[in-house]
């Protein structure tokens, strides 16, 4: 009698652990509600609005492909799309080139855990100031009469100030690389810090030199960090508008800048088209990056 009671109890217990019961599903309710109201609904709305009819002064819910056709035939919009992709790729490569060696130093060659943490916190210090100040601080740095030009002229490397430094694509790339580099350094340093030092010693003992060990052991084991960092940087750079607005003198127009100006002039349908294109682009980029490494297996 007692035996059967116990088996019944364990069986119901098993069922509960295998499949969440109705009661526990309620824990998801606030999150699901929030996401539905403030993420899924606006996304659907954006997609819907992109098919509305836009006239100069008002927008009507009559479905049309006009805004989409305008977007994909206009040189301005396609140019912005291409600029976005180009700047994203350059900034992504730049953050890896600048960030990976720094992460390698912090994550692998700094043995002291406290010092490691201190160095990573140092990377985050720029974030203690506001985004706008960080971006604007580049102006006195890169300008025609800015610090870099002044120093280069003083030591006689150049006679004319380099004008391309500010209000150009270069200044946008310099600014973005500086701002987003830390998002690359963090995940890579974390993955490198997790590598068991005895694995590297084992590789040495088996006769491999440093570059061999880097290529065959360290790099593959740090790839999940590179992918996570690349996702962070990509999502932020693709959605950028402030850095390019502040440092390019409106010469560089990203999809983000297009959305801002379209919304500013109440062209909701065009803004929605650009928004949908940008969302799809981001989704594709993240999906492609996740293909590189199976994060579920690696983390």
Partner 1 sequence: MSAVLQLSNVVKAYGDLRALNGIDLALPDDSYVSLLGPSGSGKTTLLRVIAGFEQPESGAIRFSGKDVTHTPPHQRNIGFVFQNFALFPHLSVYDNIAFGLINRAVDPVTDMKLVDRKVRDMIALVGLAGLEDRATTQISGGQKQRVALARTLVTEPQMVLLDEPLGALDANLRARMRSELRMIRERCGVTFLHVTGSETEALAMGDTVLVLDRARIAQQGDSDTIYNRPCSPAVARFLNCYNLFAGRMADGGFASAQGLLGFRGEPQKAADPAYAIRYDRIDIRPAGASAAADEVQIEGTFIASEYTGSAVNAFFSLDDGKVFEVEAHLSHRAPDNYESHKRYALAWKKEDALVFA
Binding site for partner 1 (CB under 8 A): 196, 198-199, 201-209, 212-213, 216-217, 220-221
- Using DSSP's 3-state secondary structure scheme, residue 78 falls into helix
In contact, 53 and 60? CB cutoff 8 Å: yes
The partner residues of 60 in beta bridges, in order of sequence, read 53
Q: Quote the least distance from Cβ 196 to partner 1, whole Å.
A: 6
Q: Quote the least distance from Cβ 213 to partner 1, whole Å.
A: 8
Q: Quote the least distance from Cβ 289 to partner 1, whole Å.
A: 18
The token duo for 259 is: 């959305």
Q: Quote the least distance from Cβ 201 to partner 1, whole Å.
A: 6
Measured from the CB atom, the residue of 119 and 221 that comes closer to partner 1 is: 221
Q: Quote the least distance from Cβ 197 to partner 1, whole Å.
A: 9
Measured from the CB atom, the residue of 69 and 219 that comes closer to partner 1 is: 219
Nearest to 103 by CA among 240, 268, 230: 230
d(C-alpha 33, C-alpha 6), whole Å: 39
Q: Quote the least distance from Cβ 183 to partner 1, whole Å.
A: 24
**Residue 53 main-chain phi, psi, to 5 deg:** -90, 125
Write down how long the chain is.
299
The partner residues of 53 in beta bridges, in order of sequence, read 60
Residues 106, 108, 114, 115, CA torsion sign: negative
Measured from the CB atom, the residue of 224 and 275 that comes closer to partner 1 is: 224
d(C-alpha 182, C-alpha 99), whole Å: 7
Measured from the CB atom, the residue of 11 and 294 that comes closer to partner 1 is: 294
Measured from the CB atom, the residue of 78 and 199 that comes closer to partner 1 is: 199
Would you give the end-to-end CA distance of the chain in angstroms?
47
Measured from the CB atom, the residue of 35 and 199 that comes closer to partner 1 is: 199
**Residue 152 main-chain phi, psi, to 5 deg:** -60, -35
């Amino acid at each position: 009698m007692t035996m059967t009671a116990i088996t019944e109890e364990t069986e119901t217990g098993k069922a509960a652990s295998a499949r969440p019961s109705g009661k526990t599903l309620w824990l998801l309710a606030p999150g699901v509600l929030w996401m539905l109201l403030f993420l899924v609904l606006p996304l659907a709305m954006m997609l819907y609005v992109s098919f509305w009819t836009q006239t100069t002064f008002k927008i009507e819910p009559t479905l049309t492909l006009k805004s989409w056709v305008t977007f994909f035939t206009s040189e301005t919009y396609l140019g912005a799309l291409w600029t976005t992709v180009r700047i994203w790729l350059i900034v992504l490569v730049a953050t890896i080139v600048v960030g990976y060696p720094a992460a390698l130093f912090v994550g692998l060659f700094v043995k002291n855990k406290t010092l490691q943490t201190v160095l990573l916190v140092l990377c985050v210090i720029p974030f203690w100031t506001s985004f706008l100040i960080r971006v604007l601080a580049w102006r006195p740095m890169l300008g025609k009469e800015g610090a870099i030009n002044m120093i280069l002229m003083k030591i006689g490397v150049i006679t004319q100030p380099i004008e391309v430094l500010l209000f150009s694509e270069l200044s946008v790339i310099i600014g973005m690389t500086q701002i987003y580099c830390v998002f690359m350094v963090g995940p890579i340093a974390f993955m490198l810090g997790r590598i068991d030092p005895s694995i590297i010693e084992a590789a040495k003992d088996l006769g491999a030199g440093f570059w061999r060990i880097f290529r065959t052991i360290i790099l593959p084991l740090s790839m999940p960090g590179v992918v996570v960092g690349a996702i962070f940087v990509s999502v932020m750079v693709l959605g950028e508008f402030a850095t390019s607005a502040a440092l390019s003198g409106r010469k560089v127009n990203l999809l983000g800048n297009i959305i801002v100006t379209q919304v500013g002039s109440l062209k909701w349908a065009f803004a929605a088209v650009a928004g949908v294109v940008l969302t799809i682009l981001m989704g594709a980029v993240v999906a492609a990056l996740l293909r590189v490494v199976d994060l579920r297996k690696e983390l």
